[in-house]
Amino acid sequence: MRKTKILKNPPAFISYASAAGYEEHRGPLGCKFDFHDETDLFGSDSWEKAEGELAHTVLSLALKKGGISEQDVEVLFAGDLQNQCVASSSGLYNFGIPYLGLYGACSTCTEALLLSSLYLETSEGDTIAAAVTSSHYCAAERQFRTPLEYGGQRTPTAQWTATAAGAFLLGRKESGVRITEIMPGKMIDSGICDASNMGAAMAPAAADSVFALFSDEKHDISSFDRIVTGDLGDTGSFFLHELLSKDGIDIRDKHEDCGLLLYDRNAQDVHSGASGCGCSASVLAAHYLPMLEKRELKKILFMSTGALMSPSSVQQRIPIFGICPAVVIESD
């Protein structure tokens, strides 16, 4: 059975930032983002380049907020949803920070935090690692589904890829908010081949990670103030609760899903909720970390969910594999 790795030198969040687009700024967390752009273009002339600018903006902000120079950052873990993760490479190359590119679909934020923590676990002194993830609604729609101009009808289970990004600088700090445990995700085949039903495709992987965590006697649901999933949305959250109930686990009192926090589903036409690499990243940076810093929360389980698929794999009827890495975040 999978277990979390307890970090001997749990790294602290030295700085972090969030940035978002129009629809995200209109949502319930709108006023919490460090930056937003009403045009969703972030000064660029294409949606793909806009996402690169978004990633660039959010890391610039995190560096600025922390008073940290890019030369002081030893390594950068980043990823996004664009083919070959070009938003991360084109947006972040000119910081000149040694780079390790990741692809974990919408779980990439937690994957990047996990690997940054691992890097710092083997580093001494004042090493700083950066973790950046982004997504862009318009870039994702034309890559994964259809260009927006096509006006395709969306199904009720479909989710809205967030135009959003989060950047995190991790390192040593006397006191603060830390990542104390990490656990990679396991790919789970839920048999779903429908690219408009990501929630159902990811829920079994989230359930598997929750189950692995709480099968380990060192964890107790009551010790977490929140159990936060990335972007299961309404459909996926329902299935997560159903799947866990079969094992007698009830997390409903503690569970929140970033995909259900980002938009007001009554006022915004986002169907099952938000998704995208930038969803959990921006919600962590804008919503949860400030609460942990203010000690309104003491300890959360943070688990971005990812659906591993491509348009080709869906066309070829290869199942969509869910994955859900986890990190434990605590304030001390």
Among residues 38, 67, 122, 266, which is the contact residue for a copy of itself, using CB under 8 A? Answer: 122
Chain centre distance of CA 155: 23
- # binding residues, a copy of itself (CB under 8 A): 59
- 244-265 core/surface letters (b: 16 or more CB in 10 A; e: else): beeeebebeeebbbbbbbbbeb
Q: Which stretch binds a copy of itself (CB under 8 A): 28-36, 230-238, 275-283, 308-316?
A: 308-316
Place of tokens 């081949």: 193
CB of 158 to a copy of itself, least distance (A): 18
| 289 close to 16: Cβ distance less than 8 angstroms | yes
| Binds a copy of itself by CB under 8 A, chosen from 300, 321, 327, 331 | 321
Q: Considering beta carbons, is residue 118 or 301 the nearer one to a copy of itself?
A: 118
Cβ contact 315:199 at 8 Å = no
- Least separation in angstroms between residue 291's CB and a copy of itself is 28
Q: Assess 192 for contact with a copy of itself (CB under 8 A).
A: no
Q: Which is nearer to a copy of itself, 261 or 320 (CB)?
A: 320
CA of residue 318 relative to chain centroid, distance: 24
Site for a copy of itself contains 60 (CB under 8 A) = no
Could you give the CA distance from residue 21 to residue 92 in angstroms, rounded to a whole number? 19
Q: Which of 50, 62, 102, 281 binds a copy of itself (CB under 8 A)?
A: 102
The token duo for 115 is 């690997």
Q: How far is the CB of 112 from a copy of itself (least distance, A)?
A: 10
Between CA 179 and CA 38 the distance in angstroms is 33
Look at strands 35-36 and 12-20 and give their pairing.
Answer: parallel
Using the rule CB under 8 A, which residue among 4, 18, 57, 82 binds a copy of itself?
A: 82
The contact pattern for a copy of itself, residues 19-58, with x = CB under 8 A and - = no contact, is ---------------------------x-xx--x------
Q: In whole angstroms, what is the distance from residue 319 CA to residue 201 CA?
A: 9
**Contact present, 112 and 137 (Cβ < 8 Å):** no
Helix (H, G, I), strand (E, B) or coil at 258: helix
Q: Which amino acid is at 243?
A: L
Q: Least distance (Å) from a copy of itself to the CB of residue 148?
A: 16
Residues in contact with a copy of itself by the rule CB under 8 A: 2, 5, 7-8, 46, 48-49, 52, 75, 79, 81-86, 89-90, 92-94, 96-105, 111, 114-115, 118-119, 121-123, 143, 183-189, 308-313, 316, 318-319, 321, 323, 325
